[in-house]
Amino acid sequence: MTELSAGIVSTQEPEDAGTTPDAPPTSVLYRELLQNYKNIVASEGVYLTDSTGRRYIDAVGGTAVNIIGHGVSEISARVADNWDSTSFVYSAFMTNPWQEELARKLASITPIEDGRVFFTSGGSEANESAVKLARQYHLDCGRASKWKVISRTASYHGNTLAMLALSGRPTWSARYSPYLDSSPKIAAAYCYRCPFSLSHPQCGIRCAEDLERVILQEGPDTVSAFLVEPISGSSLAGAVPVEGYYERIQEICRKYDVLFIADEVLTGYGRTGRTFAIEHWDVTPDIVTVGKGLGSGYTPIAACVASGAIVDKIRSVSGQFVHGFTYGGMPMACAIGVQVFDYIQEHSLFELASTRGDYLRARLEELAPTIPAIGDIRGLGLLQGVEIVGNPKTRQPFSPDRKIASRIVREAEARGVLFREGTPGANAGKDGDQIQISPPFVISPNEIDEMVSVLGDSIRTVLAEEA
Compute the distance between CA of residue 446 and CA of residue 418 in angstroms, rounded to an integer: 16
Nearer of residues 231 and 448 to ligand PLP, judged by Cβ: 231
Q: Which helix (H) or strand (E) holds 455?
A: helix 445-466
Nearer of residues 265 and 405 to ligand PLP, judged by Cβ: 265
CB of 287 to ligand PLP, least distance (A): 13
Nearer of residues 119 and 156 to ligand PLP, judged by Cβ: 156
Q: How many helices (H) and strands (E) does the chain have?
A: 15, 17
DSSP symbols for 38-62: --EEEEEBTEEEETTS-EEEETTHH
Radius of gyration of the chain measured on its C-alpha atoms: 22
Nearer of residues 154 and 266 to ligand PLP, judged by Cβ: 266
Q: What are phi and psi of 50, to 5 degrees?
A: -95, 175
Compute the distance between CA of residue 367 and CA of residue 412 in angstroms, rounded to an integer: 15
Nearer of residues 398 and 419 to ligand PLP, judged by Cβ: 419
Compute the distance between CA of residue 169 and CA of residue 427 in angstroms, rounded to an integer: 8
Compute the distance between CA of residue 14 and CA of residue 145 in angstroms, rounded to an integer: 60
Tell me which residues touch ligand PLP (CB under 6 A): 63, 122-124, 127, 156-158, 229, 233-234, 263, 265-266, 291, 302
Tell me which residue has its CB nearest to ligand PLP.
Answer: 123
CB of 304 to ligand PLP, least distance (A): 11
CB of 113 to ligand PLP, least distance (A): 23
Q: What angle do CA 158, 162, 165 make, to 5 degrees?
A: 80
Comparing CA positions, the residue from 386, 382, 396 lying closest to residue 429 is 396
Sheet with 302-306, strands from edge to edge, namely 116-120, 302-306, 287-290, 259-264, 223-228, 148-152, 185-186
39-53 as b/e: b if 16+ CB within 10 A: bebbbbbbbbbbbeb
Nearer of residues 111 and 158 to ligand PLP, judged by Cβ: 158
Nearer of residues 128 and 450 to ligand PLP, judged by Cβ: 128
Compute the distance between CA of residue 181 and CA of residue 167 in angstroms, rounded to an integer: 11
Q: What are phi and psi of 204, to 5 degrees?
A: 65, 25
Nearer of residues 208 and 294 to ligand PLP, judged by Cβ: 294
